[in-house]
Amino acid sequence: MTSNRVGPASDTPLGFAKHDHAGCVADALASAERHCEVEGLRFTPVRRATLEILLQEHRALGAYAVLEKLRESGFGSQPPVAYRALDFLVANGFAHKIERLNAFIACGHPGEAHAPAFMICRICEAVAEASSAATQGALSHAAKATGFTIERTVVEAEGVCPGCSEKADA
């Protein structure tokens, strides 16, 4: 079930690479389903469909883009439908919100309990998730020094991905 996507192990830190997409979607859905069962969470049709949409696209999607796809699949077409499903996914670590883009993306390392960091290409809009525990280090140090308690972090780098960088060179 655990398909081999980009590298030797699942700890390859990026999302700019090619991979077995169908497998990655199926895996993630199955994994989410299992996780919900264990945790007593309701992995309802809308929620499942929403996660599947994010996984299929494999990039950051605005809530209204998600909403339209949900509508196409026969679900409700009002904003709360999408926002509620997205909130559920984010709250349970199946997806993340990219604040810079006001958009959502499926989590690249679900279940692993992490403070995510992202690289956002401003040209092709691809978003890669780095499983950076390290990134938090400096911030958490500064926070400790001032007595600030961190509950959540937003770490997003905007720039140009390898692919677009190559094209620009040509």
* Interface residue list for DNA (CB under 7 A): 41-42, 44-47, 62-65, 75-81, 83-85, 88, 102-103
Q: Which of 158, 153, 150, 108 is nearest to 129 (CA)?
A: 108
Give the nearer residue to a copy of itself in terms of CB position, either 7 or 76: 7
Give the single-character DSSP code of 161.
-
Q: Which of 29, 24, 30, 25 is nearest to 12 (CA)?
A: 24
Distance CA 131, CA 108 (A): 8
Give the nearer residue to a copy of itself in terms of CB position, either 68 or 156: 156
Give the nearer residue to a copy of itself in terms of CB position, either 33 or 156: 156
Backbone dihedral region for residue 92 (phi beyond 0: left; psi -120 to 50: alpha; all else: beta): alpha
Contact call for residue 8 and a copy of itself (CB under 8 A): no
Q: How far is the CB of 77 from a copy of itself (least distance, A)?
A: 25
Residues binding a copy of itself (CB under 8 A) = 13-14, 16, 99-100, 117, 119, 121-122, 128, 130, 132, 134-139, 141-143, 145-162, 165
